[in-house]
Chain A
Amino acid sequence: MVHRMEDEQRLPLIRMTALAVLIGVVAAALLFGFWRLQVLDTQHYAELAERNRIRTIPIIAPRGRILDRYGHVLLDNYPSFSVLLDRESPADVQASLAEIASGLALDPAALGEQVADAAGLPPYQPLVIKTDASPADIAFVESHRADIPCLSLLMVQRRDYPPDDFLAHVFGYVGDVSPQDIARSKGRYRPGDVVGKSGLEREYNDILMGVDGSRRVIVDSRGRVRGTLEETPAIPGKTIRLTIDENLERVAFNDLQGKTGAVVALDPRTGGVLVMASAPSFDPNEFAHGITPAQWKQLSDDPEHPMINRAIQAQLAPGSVFKIIMATAMLQTGVPPANFTVFCPGSAVFYGRVFHCWVWKTREHAHGLVDLHKAIVQSCDVYFYNVGKRLGIDRISEFAKDLGLGRRTGIDLPGEDAGLVPSPAWKEREFHQPWYPGETISVAIGQGATTVTPLQLAYSIGGIAMGGAFKQPHLLRTAAVDPEIRFPLLPGTVDTVTEAMYGVVNEGGGTAAASRLEGIQFCGKTGSAQVVSDEAAQRLSGHRYLDNAWFVGFAPRQDPEIVVSVLVQGGLHGASVAAPIARDVIAAYYKEKAQSEERLAGSPTKPRSGSTQADPASRPKASGTPQKAEAGPN
């Protein structure tokens, strides 16, 4: 045999067999390894693979728009990009932090701090590290997809608040939902949601806020989107329609520039707020973009307190405007009787103390013989001192409350203040002191402890002019019948008071005669309230102790359509500072009304009835039914 001789050169075959067995054993072990992964644990790995390739990208729902009463857009949104930092791989994030900071022009220290602060949050929750990304920021993120995969862009809808702070206090502002709100919301809010923080944004957050959608996308290992699996569209927030009249608001806004104060105009037939302006103002955009501590400090330290909505939060002595309340109480009770007259020598002595009439400081020094009409027209203090003394604090207090003061009107805005109507019971409760009769004399002319908000004065005077129908002020145009509080007044009372208020503006000696409007039955009452050293003065005026100027006016005299309340803090004289603003608003109202009537007359077709989009031309006439006019569902 040929190969016999090689046998000695061969090795024991058993070693070869051992190798073959080793191959078999190793192969079996490997197959077991694959079996374990692919058959026993395949469900687990299938899930991991799914999670790997699928990302859920939120689709941010835009907030509802806010329209004025005619459907003009007051507040809208604009699309913007936020830069998100994905924190699922902390090592990656740390490694790229410096490059991210320089690429997005962020402060590296602040960014590091933000990332460190978020350590407690779940890792799948990305951080918003820059809002309102510029085109350069977007380009940076896009071009670094490969080497900084933890960055991504999210399109959001941002509030586009008017840059000139127009209506800032009414809108309020939005911001990231607070942990407390999340806890309270029972699952409705999620971290990172943007919610209303103040104003209407907060009041109607549930309507304005939409429901975010989401898009499940397939991504590759670099995070690039390769396809969409399914999409749950965002449900946009609902649009709300206000009772605000943009034109009138603009008039009041312009008149208030450079002043500290507020203007409120109501439709007394419905309670709809036509104008609500407060000055100085703030920029809600700063809040929407995440206000910096420095900005916040500047706003909160500002002695003018721009964040306060003075229309509902300035609680100040009403001054002589309160004489309307006094006159109404006097006429309703007959104490003193309607034909009560007083001789005003410029001052009077009550309970051993001299009380001056404002006329004392003028050239005339005295009003002479004064009846109720003249007392209102010329704002005679001595007359109302006497009325107050006869009515007594209890009746004054009771009437003031019945006529809408000393309690919240219930307007649909957060943070409304109630003002104060003093009474002996109140003083006993608060100060444990008895009521001094001299205080009644001060209260009678709207001084003393009495405080009101501009909204309350418009509400109260409007209600009196309406014969005792106090419609609850509101900003949202709703289909519902407006709630009202009825405190029926005698027709004679209303006639006497409104006639006197007509005289204030239209008679020669009237305190606001300079603000007379040709052809318009413009009525009103001036007020100049001393700033006394109560909390309100401390809080709202700071160092300023000049008199606050008030004016509350309405038109027409009977069945009024608009009532305007104006406050100018430190304005000294209601007649010269506050009344012209009210005049401008009322003049604008009549101009607008005339224009729409012209349009209506020129239009061959009637406005659509029952339309949800009320046509600007469908403004009801004065004699129309107010409720129906406001019945535009939004």
Chain B
Amino acid sequence: MRARIHTADLDWWLLGLVASLCLLGLVELYSAAGHAGSGMAWKQLAWIGLGFAAVLLLSRLDYQWVIDRGPILYLVMLGGLFAVLATGHSQFGARRWVKIGGASFQVSEFAKLVIIIALARFLSGVRTDRLRLAELVKLGIITGVPLGLILLQPDLGTALTLVPVAVVGAFLAGIKWKHALALIALAGLSIPAAWHFVLKPYQKARLTAFLQPEQDPRGSGYQLLQSEIAVGSGGLWGKGLGHGSQNQLGFVPVRTSDFILATVGEELGFAGVFLTLLLYVGLLLRLIQNAKQAKDRAGMYLVAGVAAILGFHIFVNAAMVIGWMPVTGIPLPLVSYGGSATLFVFMALGLVMSVRLRRFVN
């Protein structure tokens, strides 16, 4: 059985798309950060190298074994999230990081991975064609506890990234119409409640700025406005690498991470954005393809969960860059600068490979 697992059987199309996106990220990172960029680019390259190693390593690991460790991983994650709340050092006004050894590590990235695994384990146990209410509630609790803890950090963006994993999972597992409608209604009702009891003032400010960016052109709305100006002024072909004034003169906020797509839009134009989104669509469709081919439900849910979370990241980030979504701090997978986030994507892809390599195996 083991003999049938070949590295050559890895999804090379998928890895090619990943490599292209990483390359695009490195180029834009170098351009966006100017002279400081080379240092950042090298650092990011190191993370990418580490990521590819993680893919190879995790692809050898039987995902079934990982799924079996689901409860333990889940508890470790909860412990980690509590640790962050208790001891984590703050950056940008939010506690998101814990120090393990010398390196800061963002526990919430690890939480994304664990949620994918935990939900895959839970949903693969469901044998009916449609989820029953009790199962739906369980699904909600599994997702809701870490979500709540991340929300307390506070990190609204990352907390929300857990939602699509559950939603896509429920969709694939089958959901009754009345349940779906009830959930949508509940979500609708929870918005005012969240506004009053959950959201921090800065989060509220971001949302108001999103709705009325003209009110505060220097605050949160300023970031969106500058991002739109960067993208819009890029035109069809862009201003050329290193020639985007919005980017080079610092008008685009956090241009190396959350708003790197604005930099792509300004310097490489619509053509660059088109290419980027095309690569992402390819990546997601390859993931769907791998999910379809999974030998069992657990593998399918695992891959679908990865696709859901990456798709959500891409959509929310791109929509934010063009002003369709408020500023949430969700990076663009593989392209934005950032160690934890990049490593998470590669680890998730490693699990996908593990599923793929075992699609014909019993």
| A and B are interacting partners | yes
A contacts, CB < 8 Å to B = 2-3, 6, 9-11, 13, 15-16, 18-20, 23-24, 26-27, 30-31, 33-35, 37-39, 41-42, 44-46, 48-50, 52-53, 89, 91-92, 218-222, 226
Minimum CB distance partner of B218 in chain A? A89
Q: Which residues of A contact B174 (CB under 8 A)?
A: 11, 15
Q: Which residues of A contact B232 (CB under 8 A)?
A: 37-38, 41-42, 44-46, 48-49
10 extra interface residue pairs, beta carbon distance < 8 Å, beyond A42-B232, A220-B251? A9-B297, A11-B172, A30-B318, A31-B273, A34-B265, A38-B232, A45-B231, A48-B229, A89-B218, A218-B249
**A45 in complex: contacting residue of B228, B249, B280, B318, CB < 8 Å:** B228
A123 to chain B, nearest CB (A): 11
Distance, CA A89 to CA B219, complexed state (A): 10
Q: Is B285 close to A, CB under 8 A?
A: yes
A9 touches B218 (CB 8 A): no
A20 touches B296 (CB 8 A): no
Minimum CB distance partner of A5 in chain B? B362
Minimum CB distance partner of A23 in chain B? B284
Q: Which residues of B contact A44 (CB under 8 A)?
A: 232
Q: State the main secondary structure of chain B at its contact with A.
A: helix
Could you jot down 9 A-B contacts, CB within 8 Å?
A11-B174, A15-B172, A16-B304, A19-B172, A30-B318, A38-B273, A42-B236, A45-B232, A49-B229
Distance, CA A46 to CA B285, complexed state (A): 35
Distance, CA A226 to CA B217, complexed state (A): 22
How many B residues touch the partner, as a band? Answer: 35 or more
Q: Are A16 and B292 CB-contacts (below 8 A) given A38-B270, A91-B218, A221-B249?
A: yes
Q: Which 9 A-B pairs have the closest CB atoms?
A: A45-B232, A49-B233, A221-B250, A220-B249, A38-B270, A37-B232, A42-B235, A45-B233, A46-B233
B44 to chain A, nearest CB (A): 23
Minimum CB distance partner of A222 in chain B? B250
B270 touches A19 (CB 8 A): no
Residues of chain B in range 265-296 having any CB-CB distance to chain A below 8 Å = 265, 269-270, 273-274, 277, 280-281, 284-285, 288, 291-292, 295-296
Q: Is B208 close to A, CB under 8 A?
A: no
Q: Is B85 close to A, CB under 8 A?
A: no
Q: Is B246 close to A, CB under 8 A?
A: yes
B295 touches A6 (CB 8 A): yes
A19 touches B168 (CB 8 A): yes
B362 touches A11 (CB 8 A): no
Residues of chain B in range 210-249 having any CB-CB distance to chain A below 8 Å = 216-219, 226, 228-236, 245-246, 249
A620 to chain B, nearest CB (A): 64
A49 touches B230 (CB 8 A): yes
B229 touches A16 (CB 8 A): no
Distance, CA A92 to CA B233, complexed state (A): 26
Distance, CA A46 to CA B231, complexed state (A): 9
Q: Which residues of B contact A222 (CB under 8 A)?
A: 250
Distance, CA A45 to CA B292, complexed state (A): 43
Residues of chain B in range 95-110 having any CB-CB distance to chain A below 8 Å = none
Q: Which residues of A contact B315 (CB under 8 A)?
A: 26, 30
A371 to chain B, nearest CB (A): 90
Q: Which residues of A contact B233 (CB under 8 A)?
A: 42, 45-46, 48-49
A396 to chain B, nearest CB (A): 76
B244 to chain A, nearest CB (A): 9
Q: Which residues of B contact A219 (CB under 8 A)?
A: 249
B288 touches A34 (CB 8 A): no
A226 touches B235 (CB 8 A): no
Q: Which residues of B contact A9 (CB under 8 A)?
A: 296-297
Distance, CA A34 to CA B216, complexed state (A): 24
Q: Which residues of B contact A91 (CB under 8 A)?
A: 216, 218-219
Q: Most chain-B Cβ atoms within 10 A of its Cβ — which of A9, A35, A89?
A: A9
Q: Which residues of B contact A38 (CB under 8 A)?
A: 231-232, 234-236, 265, 269-270, 273
Distance, CA A48 to CA B226, complexed state (A): 9
Q: Most chain-B Cβ atoms within 10 A of its Cβ — which of A2, A30, A33, A219?
A: A30
